[in-house]
């Protein structure tokens, strides 16, 4: 069994703060400070350019990718790190679309993260494809013979609604299409099984539930059956078969290595590597069970004590990820009042209070304290003050 008391001790959690926003940015692992400092002192400072070989910087994207692979149901040598999530979405989507050149439709849903839709819209315009966006519950029925790629975020960033990856992938395959799954709100939060679901491509960020730090690099996975056939539009020198031959013509590297683009962010990846140490003793089935316990407890507590809010997430825990959303007509002000009292969740337009639960560091005390403070704020109306209604640039 996973010892979550032990994993909690691996994070720096500020005094007086109940942190329920790990689905936006995970807290800092205690080990990250020394690990990054050692890398800068012993590798960058002393080895200089030699560090690409002697310190293993060049192979770091695969080393870290292998550590993430276990958490998403992928195999060794199938995941590589680098660049941002939007870039990885573009790579995966363009590669999938190129494998179905006779088809024009890219299908997604209205619950997808807008950035993914922006990428898809731009790609569709460039390659004369069509982006179709339907309601989340209408995805299955929208899969048809003209579909090239089904692109979905597994867990909805606002509601926490979780798509059935295996079922929708099977349906897409029956129609002759491929799938691209965004795991931004899945990796480190739920029990993902990419190989078991027979998915085709997957991408994800590492600064949320994986706790890699702000701007931590994204990852990309390609099913082994497609890894040597995938040809993304965005090609970079690190994905070349012989990058240091400096050929003028691009020749893709074998397998997942061709999904590398630019120079890897070594310092950021070092912090992520330290964060992944905490996962070494974690069983994903235990994590998922613990997540359900925490979210169910939170829903029950809020509904028993806060009649002014309405559940905005699926009630069935099997249909949601590791976050819970409630609706309130003045959600922004309510959330700012919560934050002022040390309960850090977040707001999503137009009226959503969003709370992320990460079993690595959240426990029942966090749940109960958040319920208590939210109930008190709603009872006494202390959220309704002018400064709580003033929206910041980043909300």
pLDDT in tens, 328-386: 999 999 999 999 999 999 999 999 999 999 999 999 999 999 999 999 999 999 999 99
- 331 and 216 in a common domain: no
- 293 and 226 in a common domain: no
- 293 and 206 in a common domain: no
List Cβ neighbours of 121 (8 Å cut-off, separation of 6 or more). Answer: 131
Of 280, 295, 322, the one marking the end of a domain is 280
Return the number of other C-beta atoms located less than 10 Å from residue 263's C-beta. Answer: 14
Instruction: Report whether the peptide linkage leading into residue 350 is cis, meaning its omega lies within 30 degrees of zero.
Output: yes
pLDDT at 231: 94
Q: What is the C-alpha separation between 29 and 360, in angstroms, rounded?
A: 11
Question: Residue 203 pLDDT > 80, yes or no?
Answer: yes
Mean pLDDT for the chain?
Answer: 97
- Structurally, the chain folds into a number of domains equal to 2
The helix-helix angle for 30-38 and 266-277 (nearest 10°) equals 140
Burial level of 115, CB count in 10 A (0-12/13-18/19+)? middle
- 359 and 348 in a common domain: yes
Of 256, 280, 304, the one marking the end of a domain is 280
Asked if residue 394 is part of any domain, the answer here is no
Pairing of β 105-109 and β 130-134? parallel
- 206 and 91 in a common domain: yes
Catalytic residues: 113, 182, 207-208, 354
pLDDT at 392: 79
Asked if residue 120 is part of any domain, the answer here is yes
Residue range 205-227: mean pLDDT, rounded: 98
Burial level of 107, CB count in 10 A (0-12/13-18/19+)? buried
Of 232, 264, 280, the one marking the end of a domain is 280
For tokens 């494809």, name the residue.
Answer: 129
Pairing of β 147-153 and β 130-134? unpaired
Q: What is the C-alpha separation between 276 and 269, in angstroms, rounded?
A: 10
- 20 and 46 in a common domain: no
- 292 and 169 in a common domain: no
Asked if residue 395 is part of any domain, the answer here is no
- 323 and 250 in a common domain: no
Indicate if the alpha-carbon torsion angle 141, 142, 144, 147 is positive or negative: negative
Question: Residue 182 pLDDT > 70, yes or no?
Answer: yes
Two structure tokens written together for 226? 């497609």
Asked if residue 315 is part of any domain, the answer here is yes
Are 50 and 34 contacting, i.e. CB atoms less than 8 angstroms apart? no
Q: What is the C-alpha separation between 303 and 280, in angstroms, rounded?
A: 36
Asked if residue 264 is part of any domain, the answer here is yes
- Which CATH number goes with the domain that contains 384? 3.90.1150.10
pLDDT in tens, 120-150: 999 999 999 999 999 999 999 999 999 999 9
Angle at 261 between CA 258 and CA 264, to 5 degrees: 115
Residue range 286-306: mean pLDDT, rounded: 98
Split at pLDDT 50, 70, 90, the class of 395 is low
Q: What is the C-alpha separation between 69 and 76, in angstroms, rounded?
A: 7
- Which CATH number goes with the domain that contains 106? 3.40.640.10
For tokens 């898809």, name the residue.
Answer: 120
- 20 and 111 in a common domain: no
If phi > 0 it is left, if psi is from -120 to 50 it is alpha, else beta; for residue 211 that is: left
Asked if residue 290 is part of any domain, the answer here is yes
- 370 and 233 in a common domain: no
Question: Residue 322 pLDDT > 90, yes or no?
Answer: yes
Residue 296: give the domain boundaries. 4-29+282-389
pLDDT at 245: 94
Q: What is the C-alpha separation between 298 and 368, in angstroms, rounded?
A: 7
- 301 and 226 in a common domain: no
Split at pLDDT 50, 70, 90, the class of 177 is very high
Asked if residue 167 is part of any domain, the answer here is yes
- Taking CA atoms, 192 is separated from 45, 72, 185, 284, 319, in Å, by 39, 5, 11, 8, 13
Q: What is the C-alpha separation between 355 and 240, in angstroms, rounded?
A: 42
Asked if residue 249 is part of any domain, the answer here is yes
- 353 and 225 in a common domain: no
Split at pLDDT 50, 70, 90, the class of 59 is very high
pLDDT at 391: 86
Question: Residue 212 pLDDT > 90, yes or no?
Answer: yes
pLDDT in tens, 190-199: 999 999 999 9
């Amino acid at each position: 069994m996973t010892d979550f008391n032990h994993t909690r001790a691996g994070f720096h959690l500020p005094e007086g703060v109940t942190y329920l926003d790990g689905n936006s940015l995970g807290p800092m692992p205690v080990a990250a400070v020394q690990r990054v400092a050692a890398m800068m002192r012993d590798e960058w400072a002393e080895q200089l350019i030699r560090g690409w070989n002697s310190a293993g910087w060049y192979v770091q994207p695969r080393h870290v990718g292998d550590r993430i692979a276990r958490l998403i149901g992928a195999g060794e040598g199938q995941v590589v790190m680098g660049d941002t999530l939007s870039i990885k979405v573009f790579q995966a989507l363009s590669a999938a679309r190129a494998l179905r050149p006779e088809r024009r439709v890219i299908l997604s849903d209205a619950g997808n993260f807008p950035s993914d839709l922006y990428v898809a819209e731009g790609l569709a315009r460039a390659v004369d494809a069509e982006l179709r966006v339907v309601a989340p519950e209408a995805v299955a029925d929208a899969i048809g013979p003209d579909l090239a790629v089904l692109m979905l975020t597994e867990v909805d960033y606002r509601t926490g609604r979780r798509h059935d990856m295996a079922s929708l992938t099977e349906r897409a395959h029956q129609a002759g299409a491929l799938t691209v799954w965004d795991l931004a709100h899945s990796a480190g939060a739920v029990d993902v099984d990419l190989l078991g679901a027979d998915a085709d491509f997957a991408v994800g960020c590492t600064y949320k539930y994986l706790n890699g730090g702000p701007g931590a690099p994204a990852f990309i996975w390609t099913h082994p059956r497609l890894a040597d056939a995938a040809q993304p539009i965005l090609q970079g020198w690190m994905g070349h078969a012989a990058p240091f031959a400096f050929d003028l013509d691009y020749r893709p590297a074998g397998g997942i290595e061709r999904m590398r683009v630019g120079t890897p962010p070594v310092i950021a990846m070092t912090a992520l590597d330290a964060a992944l140490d905490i996962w070494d003793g974690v069983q994903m089935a235990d994590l998922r069970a613990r997540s359900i316990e925490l979210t169910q407890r939170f829903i029950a507590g809020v509904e028993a004590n806060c009649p002014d809010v309405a559940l905005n997430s699926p009630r069935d825990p099997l249909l949601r990820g590791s976050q819970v959303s409630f609706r309130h007509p003045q959600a922004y002000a309510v959330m700012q009042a919560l934050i002022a009292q040390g309960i850090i969740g977040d707001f999503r337009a137009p009226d959503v209070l969003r709370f992320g639960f990460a079993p690595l560091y959240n426990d029942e005390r966090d749940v109960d304290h958040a319920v208590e403070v939210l109930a008190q704020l709603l009872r006494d109306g202390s959220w309704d003050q002018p400064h709580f209604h003033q929206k910041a640039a980043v909300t």
